[in-house]
Amino acid sequence: MALASAMEEAMLSLRSPARGASSRACALCALLAGAPAAAAPDPPAASAGDAAPARAAVVPAANASELERVTVTAGRPSTMPLEIPTTIESVTGAQVEKSINATDAEDALKYLPSLSVRKRYIGDYDHAVLATRASGTGNSARSLVYADGILLSNLLGNGAAFTPRWALVTPEEIERVDVLYGPFSAAYPGNSAGAIVDFVTRMPSRLEAHAKLQGFSQPSYRLYATDDAFGGGEASASIGSRAGALSWWVALNHLTSDAQPISFVVKNLAPTTSGAGIPVTGAFPDRNPKEMPGYVLGSTTQTHALQDHAKVKLAYDMTPALRASYTFGWWKNDADRDVDSFLRDATGGTVTSGPTPVAVNIDGRAYSVLPTDFARTRTSMEHFIHGLAVKSDTHGEWDVEASASLYDFARDIVRAQVPNATMASAGRITDQHGTGWNTLALKGTWRPRGTEGEHIVEFGAQRDAFRLQTLVSDTPEWSGGQAGARFSAFTGRTSLASLWAQDAWRFASDWRTVLGMRVEHWRADDGTLSNATSTVGFAPRSESHVSPKAALSFQVSDAWLLRASLGRAVRMPTVSELFQGSISATDLVNNDPNLKPEKSWTTELTAERALAFGSVRATLFGERTEDALYSQVNITAGGTVATIQNVDRIRTLGVELAGQGRSVIVRGLDIDASLTYADSKTTQNDNFPASVGKWQPRVPQWRASLLASYSPDERWSGSVGVRYSGRQYGQLDNSDTNGFAFTGFSPFLVADVRLQYRFDRQWRATLGVDNVNNDRYWAFHPYPQRTYHAELRFDL
């Protein structure tokens, strides 16, 4: 009876929405070791609206206390490798629904250790970049985001404007999210230096349907001279079923969002007094990130976005062990970005920019309001994804998988107002039709006969290809006119062909190692850069690199597990970094087609301790990066314009503490917490010596998160989440000391709450508040202030 009770508790632990496959393994380890288990509350009645409970199968090991290899399977398996050589954390869709105010897919990552997404507003489609332990929000190309194996990371460039395509996953379709930290798996390219995020979405086992209505509001947003309300709503519906060997899923989502202003017109204090210009009032005195005094004249980039998303997923079991699946996704985004001048003349009229500079006088000093200062933009996007995979799951000697994906910018147009002296409504059209990427991968798993599970060999071949095609044209009417003469253009391609293999080898009863190697061949070609009258072509480039990986783990006891990991990552320059820039006379500006790749060595030492009520983990991590890619001014060459350059060396050392567990005092209380310290500094930068010894941009010294979820019974649930990020800088020389201003980076402490009530098996209602304490914080742009959420959900 005692053994049966322990196994039942182990299954509940594995089925719970607690975060982290490794954490669940530790909890099971404690149970098998005979540690006293905390009493678990009765699970709530399941409904079709909850993620399907996972089925856990413990793979027999040579030693019964060895529990590293715990396989968790569900309706849609992860596309990650079978053997994970380093830290992995997970969050389930059920936990997201219960505990997180999620309006976009990236919200599922809110409370995972060391992760942060710079989401400026709900529906942020072009700047919501993922930051990791040793990479800030300016390094988007140092992480990878997938949905069911389809690449969502925009590796056409590196920076805030190259956000993953989060909108092609909705929170309602998430079954779970797996996060692998660091470049320790040979199955991924060097862009995995920070983390790999894999969204595993739902596939039904029977008929189910879901509908959700959601509203959100910032009712009293105040910043500078803005005092207004902003908000929106979201509606989603999905239906799916399984009939014999065929399962299918159809989902629709619509979002409308009126965001707060996120950019501003700022003028530094004029050096001398003057009587010139129109006397105006309303300018807001402020200090910029470098503590220079000046005025904020108004706001820009106030986004009104309409987004529609549709997805169809099909899966067919050709045999009990062979499945084919296809995914089609469509995303449409129409966004208008408005402006608001704070300036008023003597009659109370608004003073804004015109076709020629407008001279204004503020407190006895003259300033020029340029034609582009209060320029509006209009965006129209229509993107498609396709994903096809065939995968076997025999658990025998051999398993194979073949997959392919395509991401297509079918329509991607941004219209910007650029008035001039002859045409007040003139503008420019940026068209990226033809841009996109595609992937092809073949994978295999070999379990050699006679080794009794001591070896599991995984191997594969991959090819990822990226194409950038951008045409900027003049137009006489910015909001709807036809494209005219070319203003500039950029084109280029990169591709990465890879072979990889790794062997998980149990060479003793308590010891296991994962040894891997990745060989990559990179090529860049078809690169051109144009201005209005001329075009410069670039010679093709190609390079090959080898990235070894190694991990060693030791089961010290039933409760303790130690693990060490080492990996090399080579992050190749992106198409944008190589070819996107400008031509000044005969000189190239803002780009260098001869950029070197980033080369990083990353290490991790981890100790995990299983407790009767959960688990704790401590991880020491380090990274040494050569030729890091950053935008900076080449001071030694007397430059004044920032360009993409290689920073010689950046070093990061840190520690990450994480724990999760169920309270033994308060029935129904689950707690997840993490704390991260990172010492990340530039150690050599010959082009910009002032940055040596300074903190790496956008990597805070301290990060922390806490999520407490409470379910007193099967009807009520609530949560309180707290997120903290310490001081950080945006400049390599750390000269931006004032983080609480436009283009600054501030520390923040934000609390979120959520309360949910389930009326019955089909209906539930939720109220939530993000940023309860109304912290006003910045990451170049201002984050949202206190935001209220209300949801109503139906599950059939």
Please tell me the distance from the alpha carbon of residue 299 to that of residue 282, in angstroms, as a whole number. 12
- pLDDT for 637 equals 66
Mean pLDDT of 380-387: 97
Find the distance separating the first CA and the last CA of the chain, reported in whole Å.
Answer: 37
- pTM value? 0.89
Mean pLDDT of 542-559: 96
Tokens of 216: 């959100």
Mean pLDDT of 198-204: 93
- pLDDT for 147 equals 95
Please tell me the distance from the alpha carbon of residue 562 to that of residue 573, in angstroms, as a whole number. 35
Please tell me the distance from the alpha carbon of residue 552 to that of residue 506, in angstroms, as a whole number. 10
- Judged by DSSP in three states, 267 sits in strand
Cβ pair 222, 589 in contact under 8 A: no
Which residue in 533, 534, 541 sits closest to 593, CA to CA? 541
Q: Estimate to the nearest angstrom the gap between the alpha carbon of 136 and the chain centroid.
A: 11
pLDDT band at 590 (very low <50, low <70, confident <90, very high): low
- pLDDT for 21 equals 39
Cβ pair 697, 653 in contact under 8 A: no
Mean pLDDT of 544-571: 96
Please tell me the distance from the alpha carbon of residue 265 to that of residue 262, in angstroms, as a whole number. 11
- pLDDT for 22 equals 40
Mean pLDDT of 408-420: 95
pLDDT band at 395 (very low <50, low <70, confident <90, very high): confident
Q: What is the pLDDT of residues 298-345, one digit of tens each?
A: 999 999 999 999 999 999 999 999 999 999 999 999 999 999 999 999
Count of CB atoms situated within 10 Å of the CB of 368: 14
- Judged by DSSP in three states, 354 sits in coil
Cβ pair 543, 497 in contact under 8 A: no
**Domains in the chain, CATH or no CATH each:** 2-774+782-795 (2.40.170.20)
Which residue in 667, 561, 672, 562 sits closest to 614, CA to CA? 672
pLDDT at 251 over 50: yes
Tokens of 487: 């203003």
Torsion of CA 647, 733, 112, 657, to 10 degrees: 100
Q: Are strands 195-201 and 143-147 parallel, antiparallel or unpaired?
A: parallel
Q: Which helix (H) or strand (E) holds 61?
A: none
* Percent of residues, the chain, with pLDDT higher than 70: 89
Q: Which of 35 and 463 is assigned the larger pLDDT? A: 463
Q: Which of 195 and 30 is assigned the larger pLDDT? A: 195
Which residue in 697, 736, 704, 744 sits closest to 721, CA to CA? 704
Beta bridge partners of residue 338, listed in sequence order: 302
- pLDDT for 61 equals 32
Q: Specify the amino acid at residue 659.
A: G
- pLDDT for 39 equals 34
Q: What is the mean pLDDT of the chain?
A: 88
- pLDDT for 153 equals 96
- pLDDT for 292 equals 96
Instruction: Please name the residues in contact with 209: beta carbons below 8 A apart, sequence gap of 6 or more.
Output: 48, 237, 238, 239, 240, 795, 796
What count of residues does the chain have?
A: 796
Q: Specify the amino acid at residue 427.
A: G
